[in-house]
């Protein structure tokens, strides 16, 4: 089993090839290929690599499937005894990426 822990938009995600993940919006068009080079941890069968903080010669290749908005989150603020309250909603824009492979670059 091959998997890695990557960092994107200051969030760490456990990824495996062939699966899709929802991350904060990436500024690229759907269908574009991206290279995620901040790999913090890599595991392939019995080989384990830990970065300090990142691994230099490993990257994940992914493809952006679509952009969408996540589910709505309600933000409710209230100050007691002051008759003050506010109710707002927020929907974060997200990107769905498909991790196609986790590759290594050979050092020359």
Q: Which domain holds residue 10?
A: 2-104
pLDDT digits (tens, 9 = 90+) for 6-48: 999 999 999 999 999 999 999 999 999 999 999 999 999 898 9
Phi, psi of 46 (to 5 degrees): -105, 0
How many domains, in total, are found in the chain?
Answer: 1
The pTM of this model reads 0.81
pLDDT digits (tens, 9 = 90+) for 51-93: 999 998 999 999 999 999 999 999 999 999 999 999 999 999 9
Q: In 3-state terms, what secondary structure has residue 45?
A: coil
Q: Which residues contact 49 (CB under 8 A, 6 or more apart)?
A: 41, 42, 43, 55, 58
């Amino acid at each position: 089993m091959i998997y890695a822990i990557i960092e994107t938009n200051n969030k760490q995600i456990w990824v495996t090839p062939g699966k899709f993940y929802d991350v904060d919006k990436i500024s690229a068009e759907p269908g574009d290929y991206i290279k995620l080079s901040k790999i913090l941890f890599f595991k392939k069968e019995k080989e384990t690599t830990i970065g300090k903080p990142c691994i230099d010669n490993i990257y994940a290749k992914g493809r952006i499937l679509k952009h969408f908005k996540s589910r709505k989150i309600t933000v409710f603020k209230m100050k007691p005894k002051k008759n003050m309250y506010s109710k707002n909603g927020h929907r974060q824009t997200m990107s769905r990426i498909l991790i196609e492979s986790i590759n290594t670059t050979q050092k020359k």
